[in-house]
């Protein structure tokens, strides 16, 4: 089932790392450990893991910094482990490209459920009808098989969540989605997030695919309801 997917665990607290690693092994993943940011980036380059579990507070670098660096080259799913429970820092974590977060102390079983959910979402369970979607005379091109998105000829790196939200919107272009619907359709019904998480993802998506994110043409806000796709 899980076929030994490589999971990179970045955590400097030995006890937490041990627990996470043993649960990952029990769930038939292949875990690798890093206890510093430097180690994490080296292992990431070497392993190309399917998923990263990333502690926010590391001795040499913050999780945010690592996330930002990885996002420059890869859409690999990232789950942040954070001791900070404030909404603001959680949303900041998503802002810089994390796909989900778990606050400490957490139950390892809950973390494994998130790992499974994030990997499923990153996989090919959203299968739209056409392989190549094109809008506004090829200004925006979405390859639904390779998950490659191009804006004005340049490749845009979307996180798995951002890609899934974009897919959900393009699949039903006339539909106005509520935030709850987008959470369920794009992020999975087991996602216990707040509405504002969708807004954060939308904001990031707009920055990546809109020419002017203040005057979007692809992802339109429908006031009082939610969002709809505006590409033609
Ligand atoms: Ca730590």
Sorted by sequence, the CB contacts under 8 Å of residue 231 that are 6+ apart come out as 135, 136, 140, 170, 173, 217, 218
Distance from the alpha carbon of residue 107 to the mean position of ligand 1, in angstroms: 17
Lowest mean pLDDT among 72-76, 129-133, 153-157: 129-133
Q: DSSP character for 62?
A: B
Give the C-alpha separation, 146 to 26, whole Å.
31
Burial classification of residue 140, based on how many CB atoms lie within 10 Å of its CB (0-12 exposed, 13-18 middle, 19 or more buried): buried
Backbone φ and ψ for 54, nearest 5 degrees, come out as: -125, 120
Distance from the alpha carbon of residue 61 to the mean position of ligand 1, in angstroms: 10
Question: How much is the pLDDT for 48?
Answer: 87
**Mean pLDDT for the chain overall:** 86
CATH of domain 6-123: 3.40.50.2300
Distance from the alpha carbon of residue 20 to the mean position of ligand 1, in angstroms: 13
Task: Please say whether the beta carbons of 200 and 193 come within 8 A.
Answer: no
Distance from the alpha carbon of residue 167 to the mean position of ligand 1, in angstroms: 35
Distance from the alpha carbon of residue 194 to the mean position of ligand 1, in angstroms: 25
Distance from the alpha carbon of residue 17 to the mean position of ligand 1, in angstroms: 10
Residues 4-59 have pLDDT tens digits of: 789 999 999 999 999 999 999 988 899 999 999 999 999 999 998 999 999 988 99
Distance from the alpha carbon of residue 71 to the mean position of ligand 1, in angstroms: 21
User: Going by DSSP bridges, is the β-strand pair 219-222/226-229 parallel, antiparallel, or unpaired?
Assistant: antiparallel
Distance from the alpha carbon of residue 57 to the mean position of ligand 1, in angstroms: 4
Give me the mean pLDDT over the 202-219 stretch: 95
Give the C-alpha separation, 170 to 181, whole Å.
14
Distance from the alpha carbon of residue 80 to the mean position of ligand 1, in angstroms: 11
Sorted by sequence, the CB contacts under 8 Å of residue 209 that are 6+ apart come out as 140, 149, 151, 156, 166, 218, 219
Sorted by sequence, the CB contacts under 8 Å of residue 225 that are 6+ apart come out as 176, 178
Distance from the alpha carbon of residue 56 to the mean position of ligand 1, in angstroms: 6
Distance from the alpha carbon of residue 16 to the mean position of ligand 1, in angstroms: 9
Cα dihedral value 152, 156, 162, 166, nearest 10: 30
Find the helix packing angle between 108-122 and 160-171, rounded to 10°. Answer: 50
Greater confidence, 123 or 13? 13
Most confident of 16-30, 110-124, 183-197: 16-30
Q: Which fold has domain 132-229?
A: Arc Repressor Mutant, subunit A (1.10.10)
Question: How much is the pLDDT for 124?
Answer: 47
Side by side, the strands of the sheet bearing 226-229 are: 177-178, 226-229, 219-222
Distance from the alpha carbon of residue 10 to the mean position of ligand 1, in angstroms: 9
Distance from the alpha carbon of residue 132 to the mean position of ligand 1, in angstroms: 42
Question: How much is the pLDDT for 182?
Answer: 86
- 86, pLDDT greater than 60: no
Task: Please say whether the beta carbons of 118 and 7 come within 8 A.
Answer: no
Query: Residues, the chain, total?
Result: 232
* Domains of the chain, residue spans: 6-123, 132-229
Distance from the alpha carbon of residue 188 to the mean position of ligand 1, in angstroms: 28
Question: How much is the pLDDT for 121?
Answer: 81
Distance from the alpha carbon of residue 59 to the mean position of ligand 1, in angstroms: 7
> 36: cis peptide before it, omega within 30°?
no
Give the C-alpha separation, 45 to 106, whole Å.
28
Q: Do domains 6-123 and 132-229 have the same CATH topology?
A: no
Distance from the alpha carbon of residue 58 to the mean position of ligand 1, in angstroms: 5
């Amino acid at each position: 089932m899980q076929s030994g997917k490589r999971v990179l665990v970045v955590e400097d607290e030995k006890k937490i790392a041990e627990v996470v690693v043993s649960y990952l092994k029990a769930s038939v993943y292949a875990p690798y450990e890093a206890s510093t940011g430097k180690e994490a980036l080296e292992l990431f380059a070497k392993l190309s893991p399917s998923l990263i579990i990333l502690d926010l507070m590391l001795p040499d670098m913050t999780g945010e910094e690592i996330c930002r660096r990885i996002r420059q080259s890869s859409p690999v799913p990232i789950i942040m482990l954070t001791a900070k429970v404030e909404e603001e820092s959680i949303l900041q974590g998503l802002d810089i490209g994390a796909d989900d977060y778990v606050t400490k102390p957490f139950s390892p079983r809950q973390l494994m459920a998130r790992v499974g959910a994030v990997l499923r979402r990153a996989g090919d369970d959203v299968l739209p009808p056409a392989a190549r979607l094109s809008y506004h005379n090829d200004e925006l091109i979405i390859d639904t098989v390779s998950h490659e998105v191009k804006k004005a000829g340049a490749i845009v790196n979307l996180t798995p969540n951002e890609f899934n939200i974009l897919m959900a919107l393009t699949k039903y272009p006339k539909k106005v989605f509520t935030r709850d619907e987008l959470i369920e359709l794009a992020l999975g019904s087991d996602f216990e997030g707040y509405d504002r998480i969708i807004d954060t993802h939308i904001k990031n998506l707009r920055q990546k695919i809109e020419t002017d994110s203040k005057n979007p043409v692809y992802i339109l806000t429908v006031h009082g309801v939610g969002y709809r796709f505006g590409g033609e």
